Amino acid sequence: MIMWERIKHMLVKEFIQIFRDPRMKGVIFLMPIIQLLVFGYAVTTDVKDIATLIHDLDNSIASRELVSRFVKSGYFHVVEYTDREDRARELLDRGNVGAVLRMNKGFEEDLRAGRTSQLQVIVDGTDSNTAGIVLGYSSKIAGQFSADLLTQRILRSSGPLGQTGRVAVETRAWFNENLESRNFYVPGVIAIIVMLITLMLTSMAVVREKEIGTMEQIMVTPITSTEFILGKTVPFALIGFADVILITLVGVFWFEVPIRGNLGLLFVATALYLLTTLAIGLLISTVSQTQQQAMMSTFFFYFPAVLLSGFMFPIANMPEAVQWLTYLNPLRYFLVIIRGIFLKGVGPSVLWPQMLALAVMGRVALWLATKRFHKTLA
């Protein structure tokens, strides 16, 4: 039998306790906004303006034409021309350039004579993701250059009949037309910030009473363990919701991330997500003996949850065993939901498995936390 009167008292006590330290208000409401503002700008994998060194030993019309095509693409930004052999090593070591274009003497002569010329592209592999993208751009530009010359050669040798067929690729990116990485990452940053706040608050909630000794005082009150757990969850759920609303507003109005889906659905999904993270926090709190343990456990859960969620590293690339592990990660489901609603505008017909998974996980974790709490009382 749940007595709402007792829960109400508990809520009042929790709120007083959280906000007794005025600095907590800052941590809870201001910090998430600042975090989103900073991280929202930082998380971008768009590669443009690659600092480039030109090592053109031929210095001919053809080689300059090729360089100008790289510059015109908008991806490459020439910082220096050099004819010194060791300059590439120097600048790459210092990280001053990300790519080096090198053309040997005789570049133009080879082209004129109908032979194959070489363009060497050296990229800095210390960030292999950027390196891969730079190589992709280079091979596209070089391929186009080559194709244009090839057409000329064929025309010259076989006359106008020699025009040959070619594939013209027309690419279209759905859901994110300009391929802006910010649109992909900002909803994710919202999800990880909210998870951090709610986990941290709840994981400390029960263990602190144990450590300070006020748990014994609570035990002599008539409050039941379900009421106690509810009293510990509801305040943090409200705080979590307030944070979600705050930072979603920042994401939409400041970063102009489109919301294509249904806001109501986003709220339902957020409620399920908060239920799960709060329940996991409480579970951590009930199994920990000290606040230090609780914090370490929270970290132990949160760190993998962020890295193995598909936030940055695609889950499809992970080893099979780890992929199975990610099914236990609430963030994994919520990322699919929040990105689906923001970018794709999909509805419950696509997202129901993720929502169901969150609901089940939240319920199970809450049940476990209540059960563990029974034991502590006994």
Partner 1 sequence: MKPLRVWAVARKEFTHIVRDPRSLGMGIAIPMLLLVLFGYALTLDVDNVPLVIWDQSESPASRRLVSGFLGSRYFLLQDYVHNYPGMERAIDSGRALMAVVIPPDFAGRIESGRSAPVQIVVDGSDSNTATIAMGYADMVALAYSQDVAVEATHRIGGRAIQVPLDLRPRVWFNADMESKNYIIPGLIAVIMMVIAALLTSLTVAREWESGTMEQLISTPVKGPELILGKLLPYFGIGMLDVLLAVLMGEFLFQVPLRGNVALLFAMAAIFLAGALSLGMVISIVTKSQLLASQLAMVLTFLPSFLLSGFMYAISNMPKPIELVTYLIPARYFVALLKGIYLKGIGLEILALEAGLLALFGAAMVLLANVKFKKRLV
Sequence-distant (≥ 6) Cβ neighbours of residue 103 within 8 angstroms: 55, 56, 57, 58, 63, 66, 117, 118, 119, 120
For the segment 200-219, give every residue that binds partner 1 (CB under 8 A): 200, 204, 208, 211-212
Sequence-distant (≥ 6) Cβ neighbours of residue 238 within 8 angstroms: none
For the segment 105-124, give every residue that binds partner 1 (CB under 8 A): 111, 114-124
**Contact window for partner 1 (CB under 8 A) among 130-138, 222-230, 249-257, 273-281:** 130-138
Q: State residue 56 phi and psi, 5-degree precision.
A: -105, 100
**Site membership for partner 1, residue 84 (CB under 8 A):** no
Q: Closest approach of Cβ 64 to partner 1, in Å?
A: 14
Order of strands, sheet of 76-81, starting from the edge strand that comes earlier in the sequence:
76-81, 50-56, 99-103
**Site membership for partner 1, residue 348 (CB under 8 A):** no
Of residues 274 and 346, the one with the C-beta less far from partner 1: 346
* Alpha-carbon distances, residue 222 vs 7, 232, 313, 368 (angstroms): 11, 16, 49, 22
* Alpha-carbon distances, residue 358 vs 216, 220, 275, 312 (angstroms): 34, 35, 8, 21
What is the per-residue binding string for partner 1 in 28-57, x denoting contact by CB under 8 A? ---x---x--xx-xxxxxxxx--x------
**Looking up tokens 């009293």, which residue turns up?**
231
Q: Closest approach of Cβ 365 to partner 1, in Å?
A: 20
Q: Closest approach of Cβ 366 to partner 1, in Å?
A: 22
Of residues 48 and 371, the one with the C-beta less far from partner 1: 48
- Number of residues near partner 1 (by CB under 8 A): 125
Q: Closest approach of Cβ 314 to partner 1, in Å?
A: 6
Of residues 78 and 271, the one with the C-beta less far from partner 1: 78
**Contact window for partner 1 (CB under 8 A) among 242-250, 335-343, 356-364, 370-378:** 335-343
Give which of 255, 259, 246 is closest to 342, Cα–Cα.
Answer: 259
Of residues 6 and 344, the one with the C-beta less far from partner 1: 344
